[in-house]
Each structure stands twice: as C-alpha cells, then as structure tokens.
Structure 1
Amino acid sequence: MQEHGSFKIEVIDQTLIIKCFDAWNLETVIRLCREYKEHVESIKDKPWGCLVDLSQWELSTPDMWDEINKLNEWGNINNQKYEAVICSMSLQQVLMEDSHTALTNVETNFCDNIEQAYDWLNSVGVLKI
C-alpha cells in the first residue's frame, strides 16, 4: 500500500527532531520507526531527547499505535531521557499521553510551540540552540 502523510527527521546535538505532516497510514509509521532508529544510532551513546512536532499532523489509522508503543519501548532501552511534544489539538495530546505510558525512563513535556520545546530541551541539556 502507498504511504499517506509524511515527516521530516533530523538530529541536532543530542536531540532527534521529528516534524509530522498530514494524515498517516501504517506504512508511513513503519518507515518513521525505521528511520527514527537509524537517526538515533549516532546519539544513543549518551542521554538524548526527542522533539515531536504534531502541529501539522492530522492523526492516523488506529493500527499505528502498536508500532509507536514498540518504538517507545525501544527508546527506553536506548538511552532516551526526554521528549517534547507539540500538539495542535487536544486529541493528539490524549493519544500521545496514552502511548507515553511505555516511556518509563523518559520525562515528557507537552509544549505549545517550537520555541517552548527548544527552550525546554535546552534546559535539560540535550539541545544547544
């Protein structure tokens, strides 16, 4: 099946930054999980953070959450310590809070915008912007 929706991933300092766009299907999520792990390989030797920008994301098919839960469990055992999440709708935050029960070693902060997220990640020492 063809992917629906898209994302951009980059690493800055000890932070993985993910910007999500449009509505996703399972194929998009599977590619995200693969690329996420590939990018984290270069920073997982020290504590790292993740910024998830959902401000332009329109949700996904329900089957995505099993893959996201597996990814969160992977982050737990691969030195992830922080996650900043930007939501544009309250439903996104509810869904993310649900999925974050798997992030037992990770401190999560929900932010209103990218500046807040950068400031918080800077304050915990994983981003120097």
Structure 2
Amino acid sequence: MKEKGSFEIWRSDNVLSASVTGLWNGSVAARYRSEFIKHASMLLHDRWAHIVYLDNWVLGTPEIEPIIKDLAHWCNNNNLACAAHVYSRNMLKEYQLNKMLVSESNKFELRHFNSIEEAIDWLHDEEFEVRYPEQKVARRFA
C-alpha cells in the first residue's frame, strides 16, 4: 500500500508533541515509532507527557495496530506519565485508538480532549509546562 499518512514530532521541555495526518499503513506507523522513540529518549530521566493532534488523522490499516501497541508498551516502561489525544469526537477513531492504546497495565494516564486548550490545561494541572506559539499550534490543524 502506498503511504498516504504523515506526522511531525517535536519536543518542548518534558512534553513530546506530535501531529498526525492521513491514512496510516504499517510503514508510516513503523517510521513514527522510530522517530517517537528517538525524540522521547531525551526525556527518560524524569516523568514526561505526550500530546498528539489527531483531527487530520484518517485511521490506520490493521497492520499499524501491533506497531502502536508496541510503542505504547515502550512508553509504559519509560516514564510516560500523561498522554493527551486531541481530536473532534469520532467513534471509529476512538475505537481504533482504544484498541491500540488502552490497557489495564498502563502506568500512564490517557485522556481524550476536543480542544487544544483543554489538553494543555490538563497537562498544566499535571505539572507539565506546555508552551506553543499560537501559529505553530494553528498550523497543526490547518
């Protein structure tokens, strides 16, 4: 299958952010896992958070599921404290994300938010400093 999905990952202090777009296949998911771990490896000395912007993510083929489950397991074992998913309500998206990420063995807290502001407020409450220039955040949802 031809790649139609993409992503961008960036770090600010102890928060790893990502913006994902398009339809993902196994190849895109594998590249995401590799880049995510590379960026997150700089944060492992302390608890850290992850915020991901998913409004422009279409969904993924079944082959992404074990790859993303593996990434969630890695996060679980490497001090991830909070994960915030930001996207407008979508039952199919929620189903696939929960299938890949929700586990009773998770040590990190995973929450869904409809707005960036709600996600940032929650991360601030959890003592994570999230600072984004407005134009950078706006570009993620363009």
Q: With structure 2 as the length reference, what TM-score do the two structures score?
A: 0.84
In the TM superposition, what is the alpha-carbon distance from 1:95 to its structure 2 partner? 1.8
The one-character-per-residue Cα deviations of 1:58-111 (angstroms, maximum 9, x if unpaired) are: 001111010000000000111101000112322111222222234610111110
From 113, 116, 121, the counterpart of 1:114: 116
Aligned counterparts of 2:18 and 2:46: Cα–Cα separation in 1: 19
1:117 alignment partner, SS class: helix
Matches within 5 A, 1:63-78: 63-78=63-78
Aligned counterparts of 1:63 and 1:107: Cα–Cα separation in 2: 25
Partner of 2:96: 95
Matches within 5 A, 1:29-48: 29-48=29-48
Aligned counterparts of 1:118 and 1:46: Cα–Cα separation in 2: 19
Partner of 1:6: 6
The aligned length equals 129
Aligned partners of 1:2 and 1:27 also within 8 Å: no
In the TM superposition, what is the alpha-carbon distance from 1:2 to its structure 2 partner? 4.8
Q: Which runs of 5+ in 1 are unaligned?
A: none
More strand by share: 1
2:44 alignment partner, SS class: coil
Structure whose CA Rg is larger:
2
1:42 alignment partner, SS class: helix
Q: Cα RMSD over matched residues?
A: 1.5
Aligned partners of 2:68 and 2:101 also within 8 Å: no
Q: With structure 1 as the length reference, what TM-score do the two structures score?
A: 0.92
Q: Which runs of 5+ in 2 are unaligned?
A: 132-142
Give structure 1 regions of 4+ aligned residues with deviation exceeding 3 angstroms: none
Aligned counterparts of 2:55 and 2:34: Cα–Cα separation in 1: 22
